[in-house]
Structure 1
Amino acid sequence: MTIYYSLTFLLLAAEMVTFCVLVAPLPYTVKKNVFSFLSESKIVAKIAYGLKISFIFVAILFADAVQRMFRVTAESDMAKHRQGVVQDIRTDTGIAARKFYAQRNVYLTGFCLFLSLVLTRTFYIILDLLHTQEEYIKLKASKAPATKDQASEIAALKKELAEARAKVRDYDILKKQAAQNHAEYDRLATELNELSGNKSDKRRD
C-alpha cells in the first residue's frame, strides 16, 4: 500500500474512532462540555479546515481509484473472452491481484469520504439535540406558571427533540450499511486468497 493510501487508511480509522466517541452514551454534562469545546475551540476549527483540504485529495484519489478499477475490470474481461490463446497462470494471478487492489482502493477512499459526511451530519444533529435539551431543561425547571405562549414553545421544543432523536436513529441504518460494505470487502479478499491458492496448485501440477 502506497503512502497516500496508508494515510487515507489512518484517516478512516480516526474517523471511525471519532464516530464512536460522538455516538457513545456519555452523560449529558460530559457530552455538552465536549461538544461545546469542539464547536467553539479555534484550534479545532483550524484542524477541521486542514481536514477539509485533505478530503479534497481523498476525493481525487477516489476518482483515480474508480478509473483504475474500470480499466482493470475491462482488461480482466478481455482476458476471459480471449479465444485460442493459452493464458499464463502468472498473468491471470497478476490481473486478479490488480483488480483486487483497485477495488480495495475504491472501498478505502469511498468509505473515507462517506464517513466524513456521516460525521459532519451526526455532529450537527447531536449539537442541535443538546441545545434543544438545554432549552427544554430551562423551561421545565422554571417554577412560574406556564402561559399559553410558553406552553406552545415547550410543545415546539418537544417536537424538535423528537425529530432530532429520529435523525439520530437514521444513522443506525447508515452504520449497518457500512458494516455490510465491510463484509463485502472481506468477501473479496477471501476470493482473492482462494484464487491465488488455486492458481498455485495448478502450477505445481
Structure 2
Amino acid sequence: MCFALLMSEIALFSVIIAPMPFTMRKRMFHFLSENPIVAKVQYALKITFIFVAVLFIDALQRMVRIAQEGAYAKQKQEMADVRAETTYAARRFYAQRNLYLTGATLFLSLILSRVFYIILDFIHTQEELNAITGKGGKAASAGAEIEQLQARNKELEDKVKALQAKDRDFDNLKKQASQQAHEYNRLADDLNKATGSVSDKKAD
C-alpha cells in the first residue's frame, strides 16, 4: 500500500511541477482545490497518512529493536551460525525497507502539500495582478478620454470668451456711435442758435 501511495505521489508531483500554460495550470488547480470529489479523496488520504505515520513509528521501533538484538547477539557470540546471521540480515533489511518506504511517503506528502498550496497562492496572486492590470488599463483609457474632454471644453471656453469679447467690442462701438451722434446734434443745435436759424434735425 505504501509503495502504491508513494508512486501516486511521485506521479502527482511530476504533473504539478511539469511546465504547462498558465491557463491549463489554473484550471487544473482550481479543479483540484474546488471539486467536492477531490475534497473527499483528500480527506481519505489524510486518514491513510495517519496509518502510514503509525507504520513509520512501528518500523522505526522494529529497526531499533533488531539493531539492539544484533548487538546483543554479537556480544553473546550467537551470530556464528550462517542461518541465524541470514535471518538477522533479512529482518534488518525488511525493517529498514519499511522505515524508508513509510518515511519517504510521509515526507513526500508534506512536500507535495506545500508545493500545491504555494502554486495555488501564486495562481491567485497572478489572477489578482491581472485584474488590477485590467482595471489600470480601463482607468488609463478613461483618463485619456477625460483629458480629451477637458481639452475640448477648454477650446469651447476660448471660443465663448472670444465671442463675448466681440460682443463687448460691438457694444462699445454702438455706445461710441451714440455718443458721437448726440454730440453732433448738440453741436448742430449750438450752431443754429448762434446763427439764429432753427435747426431741422430731420433734415440733418
TM-score by length of 1: 0.64
Count, aligned residues: 139
Matched to 1:19, the amino acid is F
Structure with bigger gyration radius: 2
The match for 2:3 among 3, 9, 27 is 9
Counterparts of 2:55 and 2:79, CA distance in 1:
35
Is it true that 1:74 corresponds to 2:54 in the alignment? no
- 2:124 aligned partner: 131
The residue type paired with residue 120 of structure 1 is S
| Per-residue deviation, 1:80 | 2.3
| More contact order relative to length (CA 8 Å, sep ≥ 6) | 1
Which residue is equivalent to 1:144?
Answer: 139
Q: Distance in 1 between matches of 2:79 and 2:113?
A: 52
Report the Cα offset of residue 124 of structure 1. Answer: 0.7
- Do the aligned partners of 1:11 and 1:112 also contact (CA within 8 Å) in 2? yes
2:37 is the counterpart of 1:40: no
* Contact 1:76/1:96 (8 A) holds in 2: no
| CA distance in structure 2 between the partners assigned to 1:87 and 1:11 by the alignment | 40
AA at the equivalent of 1:25: P
Give the Å deviation of 1:120: 1.0
* Separation in 2, partners of 1:61, 1:77: 24
Task: Say which of 51, 57, 62 aligns to 1:63.
Answer: 57
Instruction: Measure, in 2, the Cα distance between the counterparts of 1:129 and 1:25.
Output: 15
Distance 1:133 1:86 in 2: 63
1:131 corresponds to which letter in structure 2? H
Q: SS state of the match for residue 20, structure 2? A: coil
Q: Quote the residue 1:99 is aligned against.
A: 92
Secondary structure of 1:26's counterpart equals coil
Partner of residue 175, structure 2: none
Note the alpha carbon deviations across 1:83-133, whole angstroms, 9 max, x for none.
4x6710111111011111101100001111111111111111100000111
Match of 1:31 among 25, 47, 52: 25
CA contact (8 A) 2:73 2:79 kept: no
Counterparts of 2:125 and 2:79, CA distance in 1: 69
TM-score normalised by structure 2 residue count? 0.65
SS at 1:25 equivalent: coil
- Other structure's SS at 1:144 match: helix
Offset at 1:56? Answer: 1.0
Structural RMSD (CA): 1.6
Match of 2:173 in 1: none
Paired with 2:3 and 2:97, the residues of 1 have a C-alpha distance of: 11
User: Using a 3 Å threshold, how does the CA distance of structure 1 residues 79 and 135 change in structure 2: closer, same or farther?
Assistant: same
